Amino acid sequence: MRRLLLLVPVMTTLAIAAACNGDDSPTDPSDETVTFLAQLSPANEIPAVTGAEATGSGTARIVFRLERDSANAITDAEADFQVTLAGFPVNTALTMAHIHDGEADETGDIVVNTGLAAGQVTLTTGTATFTKEDINVPPALAQQIINAPDDFYFNVHSTLNTAGVARGQLVKQ
């Protein structure tokens, strides 16, 4: 009887710990990240960039931070962008950067805007890196991009090339 009384506090503690552990609940939302890479080139723009800015290149690393519900549907999505550009003329001024809907041979609508505005990034030495974080992505759109990233591209625009200075299709990593 005495051993049984000693086990009661231990069993009670274990029962409370099990009840409080919400990590194993099938109804809790889950968090995940999905990373995309886009190799940016002026030659990928439609039409291809000519002139002084045609020599540049870059990389866009885009990380989607997702929340999913118990049915695995995306309920919230935010994107973080890290963009590196090099080989452009000194003082190239960027005006916009975003994800478009479109395959490599077509132009499409902007679907995720980074919020980059004219005057925020200038490639003073022809090279620069910029970051934009916590950009809202509608859940259904996030799922479309995850399902078919090559149907979307990222590009940046400059003062000289207002239609786009460097572009690359998204590739899921």
**Any idea where the domains of the chain sit in the sequence?**
26-172
Residue with tokens 């625009």: 157
- The answer to whether residues 166 and 40 touch, using CB atoms and an 8 Å cutoff, is yes
Encode pLDDT of 114-138 as tens digits.
999 999 999 999 999 999 999 999 9
pTM: 0.82
Report CA-CA distances (Å) from 167 to 63, 72, 108, 109, 117. Answer: 17, 32, 12, 14, 17
Encode pLDDT of 71-118 as tens digits.
999 999 999 999 999 999 999 999 999 999 999 999 999 999 999 999
Q: Is the pLDDT higher at 4 or at 155?
A: 155
CATH class, 26-172 region = mainly beta
- The answer to whether residues 128 and 166 touch, using CB atoms and an 8 Å cutoff, is no
Beta pairing partners, 94: 158
DSSP states along 41-64 = BGGGSSSPP-SGGGG-EEEEEEEE
β-pairing verdict for 30-40 and 166-169: unpaired
Tokens (6 digits) for 50: 């000519």
Tokens (6 digits) for 46: 């439609």
